Amino acid sequence: MVDTDIKKGKKKGEKIHLGDWPAVKRTIDDQVIEALKRAGYDVDYLMVDIRSGLGILAVVIACVAQFWQGKNKNAPEVLVPCVAAYMVLSGLMWLMQFVLYKDIIAHTKSLPGNPGVELKSKMKRYGDRYTLQARMKCDSVVGVRESSSTEYIGRFFNVDAEVQVESISALVNDVLHQLDVPSESSNGNSKKDT
């Protein structure tokens, strides 16, 4: 039997197991990125592309080391440089993912009159709060503006564990609006904790 919501052309809400903490955070992060796109921002995937390129290069090097057909199957003149290069590329990918871009879920492209925004998210393991932080580099006078908002994750799901896109969009719009409004502090920080 076909669901009546699907017949009407509506996409049914995505269901999620609320006990699966990584899936909950990943689902909210994905919806935050979609809300950012709906708000008119163009997401920049350059860092993701660089990490993917490094990963592909590491796999190619590993394949060369594995399938090299030389005089000696364990040719150290090929195996040692390939293993070293693989380790260096893997280390660079690790450094990018877990040190440089630890909690960053999205970058937006800078446009004339609209500086780029960097979104970070935090959620403690088995926690019930989701924090979204936004950072915008402005002109040299203002410097960097930051804003954040923390919400109870129950607000983002209904009783059937379906994602509430409107609630996530409201959170994103609230954080982005805080970036537009200068705060009372001198460095442009504004925080909201609900």
In 28-83, which ranges are E strands?
none
Per-residue model confidence (pLDDT) at position 18: 81
Higher pLDDT pick, 112 / 42: 42
What is the torsional sign of CA 105, 153, 172, 135?
A: negative
**Does the pLDDT at position 124 exceed 60?**
yes
| 131-137: average pLDDT | 88
Range in 53-57, 84-88, 188-192 with the lowest mean pLDDT? 188-192
Of the candidates 133, 135, 137, 107, the residue with the CA atom closest to the CA atom of residue 120 = 133
pLDDT category at 20 given cuts 50, 70, 90 is confident
The average confidence (pLDDT) of the chain is 79
Distance of alpha carbon 115 from alpha carbon 87, whole angstroms: 36
**Does the pLDDT at position 72 exceed 70?**
no
**Does the pLDDT at position 84 exceed 80?**
yes
**Does the pLDDT at position 25 exceed 70?**
yes
Cα atoms in the 13 Å half-sphere on the side-chain side of 33: 14
**Does the pLDDT at position 127 exceed 50?**
yes
What is the torsional sign of CA 180, 185, 189, 193?
A: negative
Per-residue model confidence (pLDDT) at position 32: 93
pLDDT category at 16 given cuts 50, 70, 90 is confident
pTM of the model: 0.72
**Does the pLDDT at position 88 exceed 90?**
yes
| 131-150: average pLDDT | 80
